Amino acid sequence: MMPLQIKLIATAVMFAALAGAGWYVHHAIYQSGWDARDVIAKRDTQIANDKAAAELASANDKIHVLNLSMSRNLDSINTSHYEAQKNADDKIASLSADLRSARLRLSVSIAAGSCTPAGPDQNSAAGAGDRGEARAELMPEVAADLLAIAANGDSAVRRANACVDAYNAVRDQVNAQ
């Protein structure tokens, strides 16, 4: 038989080995539990990230479609206002040429007796719209200048209307979303 001391030492070594093996097994199981939790957390994070990326892509697609639609609407508005401005410019140019060449004359009402007629029939050749009022004919250059001033004002109004139309189109389209 073995001496008692050797038995005690062998028993202590065996308990130490069993305790170490138990600690190792416990630590391995505990660590694998943390690893599993990490894997689950990473998977959940990836799922959330994928969902957010899909929602962002969908929102970007909607914005892109809205942007294209707005661009088309604004192009249409700009084209129609450009055509209106060009037509007005053509009409103004024609009127201005007629005024400068005296084919078209512009007159204004004046107070009776404030002007001395150049000839005996100056105011007697009344047009269809004459209401018996005294009139003075403007010089062709002055009439063309007045027409240019009025044309500039009309052009500004058309540009302002184009801005309002563009604003309303964008507002309506954004509010429809």
Q: pLDDT (tens digit, 9 = 90+) per residue, 3-41?
A: 777 777 888 888 888 888 887 877 777 666 666 777 788
169 and 74 Cβ atoms separated by less than 8 Å: yes
Q: Please write the tens of the pLDDT for every residue from 37-96.
A: 777 888 999 999 999 999 999 999 999 998 999 999 999 999 999 999 999 999 999 999
Whether the CB-CB separation of 69 and 165 falls below 8 Å is answered with: no
Residue tagged 């969902």 (tokens): 51
The pTM of this model reads 0.56
Cα dihedral 30, 36, 41, 42, rounded to 10, equals 130
Which stretches within the chain are classed as H helix? 4-100, 140-176
pLDDT of residue 32: 65
Does residue 130 contact residue 124 with C-beta atoms inside 8 Å?
no
